[in-house]
Chain A
């Protein structure tokens, strides 16, 4: 299926004027807009089936639970993580940030001896190493940095090439016998560069380290097969893949999730609870899903996963590549520098750029006045901005609904910025 402009009819939000201009939405890396299929699914759930899941025995509770678990299996299918039962390797969380914090906290609990002998494979001690990269989002960097502070482990990082791409071919040097965890981004939310994870996974597994992959920016844009990639854990959110906010996912290989101690405690994750002795906890994924779940959001996420699979992720990638080529032309404008690869190979359509002499806040305001939504700031990734000698940047990013006309509008607007601010 070729994706064309007609897909925009499924996104009514796009059909509006902003400040007297047709709105151009180029901020899908922050959050994607939602197709009618997802909006309708959330509405239908509240109209017909709303109830908590995995508790209660009435009809609505049964329907909600079935729908929730079906959604989990669809999300698993999207990322090549279908297990024997469906989605048993997918833990539902409040978002990607929550998923990564869950994992780092669980590793910390294992380091304190929780989870027994089986969990010792996750334990960190002084002198152990955790490896990240300089391109990490703060939601990867900070949970694992804090884990290091709690356990005495040492945080190391992959360096980046001049385009900001993770230097994966240095894996044999960066990852050592002391490395226990390697947490890296699959696609940077700033540079858009795709990390070559093969040498990283190979080296990590050679030394017995676990690989945690941040797939927030790859799942919505590229075909992903977590089993084939052979990563141990992965995290992403629904709202960037055209699903609702408030729900995200932690993927873990089944045998690892079974050994991992819980990080969040409460209802629906426990088998037997006592006042005078430790509780026994449920099997994964329930063990990691304490409290009332975001049911409507999860059902919306399942529909989003199906919707993407119907489009075909190969088609999505191909369509967005054409838009990326259009966006990359911004680098040809006077005084504009792209932070990231300047050609469309091995990158997605997330294009960060600096306009010399004009602060991103001012650039963002200027293009907003022309109805164009881009992200400005550090995009929750300060170290990669330091790599480029900057504090902040402008970022345009693609979704399935973007057109070449959108990229033309951005170029036209950005070409007027330096003149307006009297630096050209």
Chain B
């Protein structure tokens, strides 16, 4: 039978310094939201849009088994004249275990200012890494691109924790998709009005 737990060595491997550091002071977290409290379901979250020209959207992610939760806010600058869409700003509010917090932090570092296509590629590679059951991924280009996010390889051995690591990435994907689809509907409406 598979051993889904860990010994001391595994514990150190899962909670590497990069993860513990990132979890203590995660990048991209805004607002001062205490753990728990009545607003912990995210209803009370309001993040101000900084880039008016961008398409903004939010996605609330919740892991009901442990209460990890985050609202991921993105502002996407639409590509002009066929250029790529850019993630102009990505921030989040939330609370959770060190794995979810560190993963959010590293995800923000990786996709902030990047093209949407690049962010989606990273998300796909990160999912592959998390589904690798500890084996990691072979694609060296993907390894390089994931950078610090590769430290979550140790987490991928533990089925109960994979969702923690994926929380932020899922929120990024959902909020970017929402921003773009809202934008398209708006564009279409404007065009129809002009026609």
Contacting pair A389 B34 (CB below 8 A) = yes
| Residues from chain A with Cβ under 8 Å of B69 in the complex | 391
Is B20 a contact partner of A361 (Cβ separation < 8 A)?
no
A327-B36 Cα distance, complex, nearest whole Å: 25
The residue from B8, B66, B98 contacting A377, defined by CB atoms under 8 A apart: B66
Cβ A361 vs Cβ B161 within 8 A: yes
Kindly provide the distance from the CB of B168 to the nearest chain A CB, expressed in whole angstroms.
Answer: 15
Given known contacts A361-B164, A365-B11, A376-B66, A422 and B24 CB-to-CB distance under 8 angstroms: yes
Pair B35/A391 contact, Cβ less than 8 Å: yes
CB-defined contacts of A391 to chain B, threshold 8 Å: 35-36, 40, 67, 69, 95
Whether B5 pairs with A361 at a CB distance below 8 angstroms is: no
Report the nearest A residue to B101, measured CB to CB: A359
- The distance in angstroms between the C-alpha atoms of A389 and B34, with both chains bound, is 9
Least Cβ–Cβ distance between A18 and chain B, in angstroms: 6
Of A368, A377, A390, which contacts B36 at CB under 8 A? A390
- Contacts between chains A and B (CB distance < 8 A), count: 78
A366 at the interface (CB under 8 A from B): yes
Asked if B18 is at the interface (CB within 8 A of a chain A CB), the reply is no
- How far is A421 from B21 in the complex, measured between Cα atoms in Å? 9
Establish whether residues A377 and B161, one from each chain, have CB atoms under 8 Å apart when the complex forms. no
| B65 and A359 within 8 A (CB) | no
Question: In the complex the two chains form, what is the Cα distance from A378 to B40 in whole Å?
Answer: 13
Q: How far is the CA of A376 from the CA of B98 in the complex (A)?
A: 14
* Per-residue A-contact encoding for B1-28, CB less than 8 Å = 1, 0 else: 0010111101100110000100010000
Which chain B positions have C-beta within 8 A of A420?
Answer: 11, 15
Chain B 79-96 against A: per-residue CB contact (8 Å), 1 yes, 0 no? Answer: 000000000000000011
The answer to whether B5 touches A369, judged by C-beta atoms less than 8 angstroms apart, is: yes
Question: CA of A392 to CA of B67 in the docked complex: distance in angstroms?
Answer: 6
Pick the contact of B6: A19, A388, A390 (CB < 8 A).
Answer: A19
Interface 0/1 of B50-69, CB less than 8 Å to A: 00000000000000011111
- B97 x A362 contact (CB < 8 A): yes
Among candidates A18, A366, A422, residue contacting B11 with C-beta atoms closer than 8 Å: A366
- Asked whether, in the complex, the Cβ of B6 is within 8 Å of the Cβ of A359, the reply is no
A392 to B62, CA, bound (A): 13
User: Of all chain B residues, which has the CB nearest A363?
Assistant: B97
B182 to chain A, nearest CB (A): 30
The answer to the question of A261 belonging to the interface, with a C-beta cut-off of 8 Å to chain B, is no
**In whole angstroms, what is the CA distance A423 to B158 when docked?**
24
Task: Assess whether A421 is in contact with B6, with CB atoms less than 8 Å apart.
Answer: no
A253 CB → nearest B CB, Å: 36
Give the interface residue-count category, chain A: 20 to 34
A360 at the interface (CB under 8 A from B): yes
- Chain A residues near B37 (CB-CB < 8 A): 386, 389
Residue B193, interface by CB 8 Å: no
In angstroms, Cα B67 to Cα A80, docked, is 38
For the complex, give the distance between the alpha carbons of A420 and B8 in Å: 11
Nearest Cβ distance between residue A397 and chain B, in whole angstroms? 18
Contact B36–A389 (Cβ < 8 Å)? yes
Q: With CB as the reference atom, state the residue of chain B lying closest to A420.
A: B15
Q: Which residue of A lies closest to B11 (CB)?
A: A369
Collect the chain B residues with CB atoms within 8 Å of residue A137's CB: none
CB distance from B26 to the nearest CB of A (A): 13
Give chain A residues whose Cβ lies under 8 Å from the Cβ of B164.
361
- In the assembled complex, B38 has its CB within 8 A of some CB on chain A: yes
Give which listed residue, A19, A362, A389, contacts B5 with CB less than 8 A: A19
CA distance A390 to B97 in the complex (A): 13
Report the bound CA distance from A368 to B11 in whole Å. Answer: 10
Contact of B74 with A by CB under 8 A: no
1/0 contact string of B139-164 vs chain A (CB within 8 Å): 00000000000000000001001001
Q: Is the CB of B35 within 8 A of A365?
A: no
| Per-residue contact bits, chain A 368-404, to B (CB 8 Å; 1 contact, 0 not) | 1100000011100000011011111000000000000
A376 to B38, CA, bound (A): 20
B60 shortest CB reach to chain A, Å: 14
Question: How far does the Cβ of A181 sit from chain B's closest Cβ, in whole Å?
Answer: 26
- Answer yes or no: B129 CB below 8 A from chain A CBs: no
* Closest-CB distance, A418 to chain B (whole angstroms): 12
A378 to chain B, nearest CB (A): 6
Nearest B-chain residue to A368, judged by Cβ: B5
A278 within 8 A of B: no
Question: Is B99 located at the chain interface by the 8 A CB criterion?
Answer: yes
Tell me the complex Cα distance, A421–B7, Å: 16
CB distance from B104 to the nearest CB of A (A): 13
A19-B3, A377-B67, A391-B67 known, 8 other contacts, Cβ within 8 Å: A19-B5, A359-B98, A361-B164, A376-B66, A386-B36, A390-B36, A421-B98, A423-B24
Can you sample 11 A-B contacts with CB below 8 Å? A361-B66, A362-B98, A365-B158, A368-B5, A369-B6, A378-B67, A388-B36, A389-B35, A391-B95, A421-B15, A421-B98
Interface residues of B (CB under 8 A from A): 3, 5-8, 10-11, 14-15, 20, 24, 34-38, 40, 65-69, 95-99, 158, 161, 164
Closest A-B pairs by Cβ, 10 of them: A361-B97, A391-B67, A359-B97, A392-B67, A391-B36, A390-B36, A369-B11, A19-B7, A361-B66, A377-B66
